[in-house]
């Protein structure tokens, strides 16, 4: 099982993981930002002599070219099957680095050190690796677990508030999948507080929710689809926003998608309306609203029908009967979705 360490002494954790592990060469993969902002924070004796590989930051660079660059650097600097790659960055770095390590010489060990909240609670844990290809996100990749994941909240100070909110939306999703208590604990957290210890405790629970699901269904044949809660509508909002030239952050799309899919959960599975209203208020207060009109519904439905997780063109969602009780693979009709979007707009005050 993947070892996940939750601590703020990252240097100590790196030293312990490397000590006696017998790696003949260590590589660190960064992007432009983490090379500048984060690498100095984790530099320690255990990393003396490590070769640093840098790729350009951003999802636009999660490409075959960047992957080939990492393979070339590994090869040119003497990596063997007994070498280690440490991925230090957000989801692009951990996804691409995980794929580079899993395919180089048929697989070398890698450790993820996520530096954004979003990658800490989602991308870095659970074994999904990959790159974008032919204009499609995460089109090519393999399931391959990191040897270890080091999760710390000490990097969060380097992030803008919007990045924190983006990661927090995935935490809300995990909280709703877990229990009413966990959901309420998250709603009560003051997002502006920057309390790293309290945040680390919330992140730990959040990651454990994901880990429990992934352990039961590592290759996403059933239960893991629960982690797509909020994402059927969220991805449609993201694609629609991109198309109209006003891209939105993934986590914000998930927050708005969660509201719309919780409306669906209420309509189709009796999810308590009081919790729906609390979620909607939290999202409206912290993320604002994603503006749509009924003229946009057809375009949004088209995106949902073409979602890569949709089976035979139907709209597919994971829905909640209550917090902690999820059902996956639910087919939703266009009429249900239109009704949910109407109520989403009411709740968001648009």
Residue closest to ligand GLY, measured at CB: 227
Q: Which stretch binds ligand GLY (CB under 6 A): 32-40, 95-103, 156-164, 220-228?
A: 220-228
Does the active-site annotation cover 250? Answer: yes
Among 61, 69, 128, 268, binds ligand GLY (CB under 6 A): 128
Our answer to whether residue 291 is catalytic in this structure is no
Show the tokens assigned to 317. Answer: 């969602």
174 vs 266 by CB, closer to ligand GLY? 174
Helix ranges, the chain (H): 10-18, 32-37, 39-42, 64-76, 91-103, 117-118, 161-178, 180-188, 196-216, 231-243, 250-269, 273-287, 297-305, 334-348
Single out the residue of 224, 235, 266, 268 in contact with ligand GLY (rule: CB under 6 A): 224
The C-alpha atoms of residue 197 and residue 213 are separated, in whole angstroms, by 25
How far the first Cα of the chain sits from its last, in Å, is: 46
8 labelled catalytic: no
Q: How far is the CB of 280 from ligand GLY (least distance, A)?
A: 23
Which CB atom, from 199 or from 254, has the smaller least distance to ligand GLY? Answer: 254
Closest to ligand GLY by CB, 211 vs 286, is: 211
Residues 262 and 343 sit within 8 Å (Cβ to Cβ)? no
C-alpha to C-alpha distance for 100 and 129, rounded to whole angstroms: 9
Structural tokens at position 79: 């990596």
List the interface residues with ligand GLY, window 35-94 (CB under 6 A).
none
**Of residues 50 and 226, the one with the C-beta less far from ligand GLY:** 226
- Tell whether residue 174 is a contact of ligand GLY (CB under 6 A): no
CA distances from 272 to 192, 281, 318 (A): 28, 15, 16
Indicate the DSSP class of residue 216: H
Secondary element (H or E) of residue 3: strand 3-6
Give Cα 63 to chain centroid, integer Å: 18
Closer residue to ligand GLY in complex, CB, 26/257? 257
CB of 170 to ligand GLY, least distance (A): 8
Interface segment toward ligand GLY; rule CB under 6 A; list 156-164, 174-182, 219-227, 297-305 = 219-227
Burial letters for 35-48: b for 16+ Cβ neighbours within 10 Å, e otherwise?
beebbebbeeebbe
Q: Which residues contact 333 (CB under 8 A, 6 or more apart)?
A: 315
Residue 121 is classified by DSSP as I
Catalytic residue among 37, 180, 220, 327: 220
CB of 295 vs ligand GLY, minimal distance in Å: 31
Shortest distance, position 232 Cβ to ligand GLY, whole Å: 13
Residues 108-127, interacting with ligand GLY (CB under 6 A): 122, 126
Looking at the Cβ atoms of 21 and 140, the one nearer to ligand GLY is: 140
| Contact residues for ligand GLY, defined by CB under 6 A | 122, 126, 128, 220, 224, 227
Catalytic positions are 106, 128, 170, 210, 220, 224, 228, 231, 235, 250
């Amino acid at each position: 099982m993947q070892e996940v360490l939750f601590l703020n002494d990252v240097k100590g954790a790196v030293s312990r993981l490397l000590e006696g592990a017998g790696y003949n060469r260590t590589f660190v993969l960064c992007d432009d930002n983490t090379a500048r902002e984060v690498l100095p924070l984790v530099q320690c004796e255990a990393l003396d002599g490590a070769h640093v590989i840098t790729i350009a930051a951003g999802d636009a660079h999660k490409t075959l070219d960047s992957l080939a660059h990492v393979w070339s650097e590994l090869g040119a600097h003497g990596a063997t099957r007994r070498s280690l790659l440490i991925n230090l960055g957000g989801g692009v770095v951990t996804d691409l680095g995980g794929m580079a390590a899993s395919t180089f010489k048929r697989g070398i060990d890698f450790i993820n050190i996520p530096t954004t909240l979003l990658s800490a609670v989602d991308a870095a844990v659970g074994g999904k690796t990959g790159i974008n290809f032919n204009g499609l996100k995460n089109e090519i990749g393999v399931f391959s677990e990191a040897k270890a994941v080091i999760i710390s909240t000490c990097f969060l100070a380097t992030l803008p508030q919007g990045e924190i909110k983006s990661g927090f939306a995935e935490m809300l999703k995990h909280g709703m999948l877990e229990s009413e208590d966990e959901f309420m604990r998250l709603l009560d957290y003051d997002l502006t507080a920057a309390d790293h210890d309290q945040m680390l405790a919330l992140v730990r629970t959040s990651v454990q929710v994901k880990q429990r699901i992934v352990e039961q269904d590592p290759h996403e044949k059933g239960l893991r689809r629960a982690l797509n809660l909020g994402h059927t509508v969220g991805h449609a909002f993201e694609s629609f926003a991109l198309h109209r030239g006003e891209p939105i952050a993934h986590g914000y799309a998930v927050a708005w998608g969660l509201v719309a899919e919780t409306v669906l959960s209420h309509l189709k599975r009796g999810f308590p309306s009081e919790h729906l209203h609390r979620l909607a208020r939290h999202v409206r207060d912290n993320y604002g609203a994603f503006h749509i009109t009924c003229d946009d519904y057809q375009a949004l439905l088209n995106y949902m029908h073409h979602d890569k997780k949709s089976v035979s063109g139907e709209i597919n969602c994971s829905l909640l009967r209550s917090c902690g009780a999820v059902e996956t693979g639910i087919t939703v009709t266009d009429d249900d979705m239109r009704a949910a979007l109407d109520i989403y707009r009411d709740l968001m005050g648009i």
